[in-house]
Each structure stands twice: as C-alpha cells, then as structure tokens.
Structure 1
C-alpha cells in the first residue's frame, strides 16, 4: 500500500503539469487592424483573458494608413499590416507581447493597389500580399531583423466576371498558405476563381502556377476568404457576392467541389456581403459572417467523415458590417469586428453544440476590420 501511495504521489505533479501545459496561456493579445478614417487612427492591441472573455486596452500605434489586414510572425516578434491605399504598401512592426507595444520598422510597395490581405510562412522567409484593385499577388522577402525587402515576384490575374459593377476586372482577395505550406492559394472576386500556386521558398520566383492553376466557382459568386479543415482534408471558401460557402475535397493543391451551402435564410431579401470564415479549434464547427442587411453569423457543423456542412444556427452579430472575426485559441469565445458600428464584441461559444451564446465583453474601436490573436508572453 505504501509503495502504491508513493507512486501516486510521484505521478500527481506530472499530471498537474500536463494539465497546465494543455490549458495554454490564460491571456492573449489581440491585434486589431482598421481603416484609418472616422474614429480610427491605426493599429490597436488589447489583452484577452481566456477564463472570462474579458478584453482590456493595452496599446496602439498611430499614423499607420489603413492597416486593414494583419499577420503575426510565428515567433510572435513581428506584425505585418497592409496599407490599403491606391499606391499599395505593407508595413513591418516589432511586437512586444507583454505590453502590446508596436514599433515601426519599415514599409515597402506591394506593386499593386489596395492590398487587402497578408500572410507569412512559418519560417518567416516571405510575405504574401493580395492586391485587390491591382488584381495581383505579390511575394516579399523578410529579413532577419523582421524588416520587409522589395517584392521579388508578382502574378497578375486577367479577365472579368458577369457582374459589370463588381467584376469589371481581377480583384484578388486573399493569399493563403496550405497547411503543409507547399501551396499558396489566392481568391479572385473579379474572375470567380480560386488560383493555386506551388510554393518553393526560393529567392527567385518562389511561387509558380500549379496544375490545375485554378478552379472556377459559380459565375457571380465572388470568392473571398478560405479556411482549411483541421485534418487538412477539406477546403472551405466563402463567396462574398453569392453569400455561400463552398466545400472542397483537398489533396495536394487539387480542390474538388463537393458542396455548396447558402448563408441566407429562406426568403431573405436585401443587400448581402459575405465576409469571413473560420473553423473552431476542435474542428467540429465552421463560422461565417455576412454583412449588408444581414449583419449575422452562420454556424455549421462539420461532418468529421466527409467534411460536409450542416446548418446549426444564424445569429445577429450585434453590430453593422461584421467584416472579420476570430475564435480564441481555447475555442470558448468568438470576437466579431463591426466595421460600420465601430465595435468589437466578444461572445461565448458552446463547445459542444457550436452555438453562440451571450455577449460577455465589448470595446469601441474605430472601423475595425481585422482581428489576430498572439500569445501574451
């Protein structure tokens, strides 16, 4: 009996340590990108507390023009933000997680107008920027000190879609790395295509068109953002103009369409603008926002056997223009940014059903359009 007691007492510290390790940080930083008009003046940083969902202001950096989309480096030391203007630039910042301080490093051209999306590879070799009005994707190298080098490559889309007002030319919206980082996929709202490139990571022509080089969506759908399933087998694409989510089987850069599911309630009449799409950390649920007259978020269950979606609920987001949102790493809360009502709102999530519960926290932020989590080390 004494031997058994000794074994149990020996194991307890290890079990406690394992539990604490699995719990992850109790707090995170949230970095908020915005359009710098009205009440907004730049990038802001808030502290997010995972036990309560509470948020608290930490810091901000002014004089950053239209930082509408943000990426955080894998080592948590740098933040990159597009400057969504006609001339098109992207800025680098040194990031201090403890205080939320951002220090400007440098800014370079994206070789295209109105950049609206930026991503960074895990090895921190390159940035990938989508230029909306420029209709192209740009690749920019990252230096050891976190600064950005001049663009080494651009790939421009050509063509147009059936909507003469919105699809008069190419409008590239995202530049997303595949989970294995062997591919970079970028959506083109203007030509109704999801483009596929191979990523080799070299200094010269780091991305090259894959085979197939793209998949087309329903004419007039206007593809916007992408999300991969946690098991990497499925790709989900939100259609801005079509207010739908497309589900693809995904295998080594080859998406194959298997489902098209609407975000709209039966009989809905009014303006829409589907915006953002994310999957819960447990991989069981998909969330998608819709703007316009809808101003809601849809929740879908993900079939773990085939990746297909089943509608669960549609909930008003409590503000206007829910352009972007983020799910906290614990999976217990969702933060929604409302561009047109100057607010971010935190809601509780039921991890078992996926349903969105009551609001637990909110903050007034001018024109928020992007939210990114970073560990508060």
Structure 2
C-alpha cells in the first residue's frame, strides 16, 4: 500500500511538473523601437518563435517620433516609449495600449519629460511610475502612470551636475539609463558625462519616489563613460558597460554598498579604431554575459560568468553582420540572441549554444529601418 501511495505521489508530481513545463511560452511578441528620421514608421511588432527563431510581422504603431527605447508595462497591456529628440527641443514620452498575441498597439497619450534627448525608459512592476533618462539634458524624470496606463505630468526631476576629462563628450552630464534594481529598492542611473552610477532609494506609490542613497554614487575611471547595466538572475552580481572605452565593471551587488570585483575590456588587444560600446545582457540562466561594440568593429563579445565569484572569462567575438549594434536582446527561453543593427537596417537572429555561450548564425533576418531597441513580451 505504501509503495502504491509513493508511486501515485511521484506520478502526480511528474504530471504537475510536465504541465508547468508545458505552460512556458513558446511564442513572444517582439517590439522594435526605431529612429523615424529615415524610412521607419514607428514601433514595429513581430511574432517570435522560441523553438525555431522564426519571426512573423504583426503590426506597426505609426506617427511616433523617434521611439528609440521601449518599456513593457504591467500585465503586458501597456508599452511606453521615449521620443528622443536632440538639444534644440524638449523630449517627450508616449504611452500605448497593447494587445498581446494580436500585436495591436495604439497611442494613449504623450507627455513632455522636461529634459532634452530622452534615451531610456523603465517602468516599475506595479505600473505606478515611469523613469526616464534625458541624455542631452543630463537629467532623470519621473512620471506617474494612471490605472488605464496613461502618463501624467512629471512629478520629480533629478538634474545632474558636473563633467569629466573628455571635453568633447563629457563637458556636462549625460544620463544614459534609469534601471530599477531587481528588488526595486533602488533606482540606478548612469551618467556618461560624470563617470558615475548614481543610486537613488525607491519607494513606490509616492509622488516623488526617489531620494539619494548613501553613498549616492559608484564612480568609474575618468573618461570611461558609463552606459548600460544588467544583473545576474540570482541578483548577486551587477555589470556595467562603459561606452567610450568598452570596459565592463563587475560588482558584487549590494545597492549603494556594491563592491567592484574587476574590470574587463571588450576591445580587441592592440585595437586603434573607434570604440562605441552599447549594450550588455546576462543570459537567462546566468552563465554568460554578452556585450555589443559599435564603432569600427560591430561585434558581440561573449564571456562566461563564474557562479561563485561573478568574474568573467572571455569566450568569443562574433560579428553582428551589420552596422552599429545599438541594442540586442536574449529571448526568455535563452535559445536566441537578436541584434538590432541600427545603420544597416536589419536584425539578425543568432542561436545560443547553452553549454558554451557561443553564437551561431541562423538564416533568420528581419529588415527594419533604423532598429535601436528590442523588447519581448509573452504572446500566449
């Protein structure tokens, strides 16, 4: 009797596991932010299949001014974009309703950011606030989000001050990212112009949810130019990519008390050309780190991550097969990496070898004008 009971229990557990496994999405909606100064119509939506890497066109949101960075809102029902404009005009952000699977996307409203050149947007899990990095204006803007997904007027602005050693690129502040920590206790925003990762305490639901942490910043080597961040899935480690020197800073993550572990260059030894490091992502299993470099190389550089120490070991360099890999994304299954080549108007799909981290070219290519941001959201 006992043996039969154990067998029945094991069978139920196996069935439950199988059902849970079967619930993992095999289809995602791929949203593509672009620059509309050329032939792009706005935000493009494609279906993406995680087993094959194939894509299928669904929709486009037209008439959006330079939606160069996107964020997905609560329950995948809303999409938010920056409207990136330069120094001569104030920037803005837009809110959209979104229907997963059909890919239907429609404008809800638009709000000024009170800062020039917004280039990055993040939304908290509760869908209470949007956080916007104004690159040209050197500021961070906070906008409330209504229950129906609309954006309210800016309720908090954090204006950075200062400069650094490169007179051409760092004469003033240039805020590049606005990323919430995995537990959302902090908001971290990079400033290329002052060579800092600034850290703010975050309390959701308040009109002004940000206050300076103590210490309020992590500093990097002058002239490096901090750009993008990512975390390992276990939240133990954080990685910063600097744009101007192509340096990765590895940290043991603990909010404002994070400790630097090492620095690693993504630039080939002896390289004398132009460096333009852009994006950085950790694989969903936490085993590998990927970073893109624009400039004169146009490649993805791959590192393995030591699980206990967070330190990096070089794996390979891979051509992105196009010009200016501004942004890339790893699909949630970890099977594929997609690279947005801004200046060659294409998106290449690479298959990831989950044992080695290496990238293999697939025949799947999307032709999209000036793609600069890729985001996934479940389609089923």
TM-score, normalised with respect to structure 2: 0.95
Q: Using the TM superposition, give the Cα deviation of residue 281 of structure 1 relative to its aligned residue in structure 2, in angstroms.
A: 0.5
Q: Gaps (5+ residues) in structure 2?
A: none
The number of aligned residues is 376
Aligned to 1:50: 50
Provide Cα deviations, 1:264-303, integer angstroms capped at 9, x if missing partner.
1111121110000000010000000000111000000101
Deviation at 1:156, TM superposition (A): 0.6
Show CA shifts across 1:84-126 (max 9, x none).
0131100000000121010110000111011000000111111
- Identify if the C-alpha distance between structure 1 residues 5 and 69 changes in structure 2 by more than 3 Å, giving closer, same or farther: same
Q: Is the 8 A contact 1:39 1:365 kept in 2?
A: no
Alpha-carbon contact 2:144-2:207 (below 8 Å) kept: no
Per-residue deviation, 1:248: 1.0
CA RMSD of superposed structures (Å):
1.6
Say whether the 8 Å CA contact 1:336–1:345 is kept in structure 2.
yes
Q: Counterparts in 2 of 1:22-101, with a 5 A limit?
A: 22-23=21-22, 24-85=24-85, 86-101=89-104
What is the rounded CA distance, in whole Å, between the counterparts of 1:44 and 1:7 in structure 2? Answer: 52
Displacement of 1:22: 2.6
What corresponds to 2:128 in structure 1? 125
Please report the TM-score for the alignment, with normalisation by the length of structure 1. Answer: 0.96
CA distance in 1, matches of 2:100, 2:13: 28
Rounded Cα–Cα distance in structure 2 between residues aligned with 1:305 and 1:13 = 35
1:360, distance to aligned residue in structure 2 (A): 3.7
CA shift, 1:5, in A, is: 7.9
Alpha-carbon deviation of 1:14?
Answer: 5.4
Alignment of 1:4-23 (within 5 A): 12=11, 15-23=14-22
Residue 160, structure 1, aligned to residue 159, structure 2 = no
Q: SS state of the match for residue 258, structure 2?
A: strand
SS for the counterpart of 1:75 is helix
CA distance in 2, matches of 1:14, 1:74: 31
Asked if 1 retains the 8 angstrom alpha-carbon contact of 2:217 and 2:256, the reply is no
Q: Distance in 2 between matches of 1:45 and 1:329?
A: 17
Q: What is the 5 A alignment of 1:101-250?
A: 101-250=104-253
> How far apart are the structure 1 equivalents of 2:19 and 2:335?
17
- Quote how far apart the aligned CAs of 1:78 are: 0.2
Please, which of 233, 253, 258 is the counterpart of residue 255 of structure 1?
258
State how far apart, in whole Å, the 2-side matches of 1:223 and 1:36 are.
26
Instruction: Please give the alpha-carbon distance, in whole angstroms, between the structure 2 residues aligned to 1:250 and 1:66.
Output: 34
The residue number in structure 2 matching 1:366 is 369
Q: Distance in 2 between matches of 1:53 and 1:21?
A: 23
**CA distance change for structure 1 residues 20 and 342 in 2, over 3 Å: closer, same or farther?**
farther
Moved over 4 A (4+): 2-14
Residue ranges of structure 1 left out of the alignment (5+ in a row): none
Task: Write the deviation string for residues 63-98 of structure 1: whole angstroms up to 9, x where unpaired.
Answer: 000000000013110000000013110000000012
* Matched-pair contact (CA < 8 Å) for 2:175–2:190: yes
Out of 65-74 and 20-29, give the one that drifted further. Answer: 20-29
In the TM superposition, what is the alpha-carbon distance from 1:235 to its structure 2 partner? 1.1
After superposition, residues 215-364 of structure 1 pair within 5 angstroms as 215-364=218-367
The Cα shift of 1:20 comes to: 4.3
